[in-house]
Amino acid sequence: MLGRYIVLDIETTGLNRSKDQITEIAALKLEGNRIVDKFETLINPQMKIPAEITQLTGITDDMVKEKPTIQEVLPNFIDFIKKDILVAHNAIFDIGFINHNLNLHLNQTLENKNICTMNLAKKIISTMPSYRLSSLCNYFDIKNEYAHRAMSDVYATTKLFTKFQAIMHNNGLREDQDILKFYQDPLLKLNLSLTHLI
């Protein structure tokens, strides 16, 4: 297991970080496989949430109208994650949105190392038809009862990452630096089949 890391997820009003806004941030802080702290808040996006997004996430305008803005949330969130390794599914989306807002409001950029469980899955498993979080959860029998709500997705990603860490451990990757090297090196892959894993 990694020594200490943060699993995070966000919900937004859409896919374009330049015009859409974050509506929810959730994160778990883990030491090994033990949860030691958590961060969770709805966020007032200061814009109307599109109907299709409310249908997907369940987050309504009424739910966020009295919540803090992203400018108010970011300092506490940055204090929560500190310099720990960040883990997210499709991390380029979550971290991209957070970095855009950090740069816009605080003139900062995340310097944390990060691991994307989607990309990690591609390095470990060669035969998945889809690497979406829902597909991986289905294959590994991980329940995500409130998919597309940030904390539920965080718990699902945490369980998925724990399974991946066990697979890496069983294949000789047992230290933080080994896991990070495996993740960062495009030439290193396990290419295991689903039948081998399940």
Burial (CB < 10 A; 0-12, 13-18, 19+), residue 48, is exposed
The CA-CA-CA angle for residues 36, 185, 126, to 5°, reads 85
Q: Which helix (H) or strand (E) segment is 56 a member of?
A: helix 51-57
Q: Is 196 a catalytic residue?
A: no
Closest by CA to 184, choosing from 176, 172, 193, is 176
The residue from 100, 148, 169, 196 that is catalytic is 148
Catalytic residues: 148
